[in-house]
Homo-oligomer: A and B are copies of this chain.
Amino acid sequence: MCYRGAAMQRNVIRAMAGGWEGVEPSGYAPDGSGTGVVRHTLVGDRKADRSEPGPQMELRYFEVRPGAASRLEKHEHEHYVIVKTGYGYAIVGDKAMEIAPGDVVYVGPLQVHQFVNRGDEPFGFYCFVDTCRDFSQQPTREELARLDASPAGAVAKPFAVPPPQKR
C-alpha cells in the first residue's frame, strides 16, 4: 500500500521561482540524468491499485531543455497536456503539431507520442495521468517506419530517452 500520496497531499501547491514549494524536481529517465527533461510531481503518486488512498489522478509538470524531447512511446493510459511555457512539437501518431503556451493536447490510448522542444528556451507543460496506469511501451518497428516516412519523421527523436527499465 502506498500512503505517501494521502499523507502528504496538500490542498494548495504554490508556484515559486523555478518550481513549486515543497516539490523536489526529479529526473525523467530511471537513471535521472542526461535526458534534458525534468519532472515535478505536483499532485498524486503512482498506485498499484485504485483502492489505495490519495488522489486518483497525478499532475506532473515537465520541463524540456532546448534540443531535448520526452520519450517516444505509447501506452494504454491517456495524457492531458497543457503547455505552460516555450514552444514544442506534439507528435501524436504520424502527425507533428507546433504547440505554444495555452495549447492543450489530448493523447488517446496507444497513440504513439512525443513532446519535442522546438525553440531555444525551456519548453514546459503540465501532464495529467491516472495514478493507476500501465507502463511505457516502445513503438513497434512498423510504427517507427511509418513515423519516419511521415512529415513528423523530420522532427521526431526516437532515441532521445532510453526505453524504461523493467520494473
**Which A residues are within 8 Å of any B CB, using their own CB?**
9-15, 20, 42-43, 55-57, 59, 78, 80, 82, 84, 90, 92-93, 95, 97, 99-108, 111, 126, 128, 130
Contacts and interface: CB of A to CB of B under 8 A. Distances in A.
Count of chain copies: 2
B15 A90 contact: no
B11 A90 contact: yes
A9 B106 contact: yes
Given A12-B99, A82-B82, 6 more contacts: A9-B108, A10-B106, A11-B105, A12-B97, A13-B106, A15-B100
A97 B105 CA distance: 30
A108 B12 contact: no
A73 to B, nearest CB: 16
Nearest to A9: B106
19 contacts: A10-B106, A11-B93, A12-B90, A12-B103, A12-B104, A12-B105, A13-B104, A13-B106, A15-B101, A15-B103, A20-B102, A43-B80, A43-B104, A57-B57, A57-B78, A59-B82, A59-B128, A80-B128, A82-B126
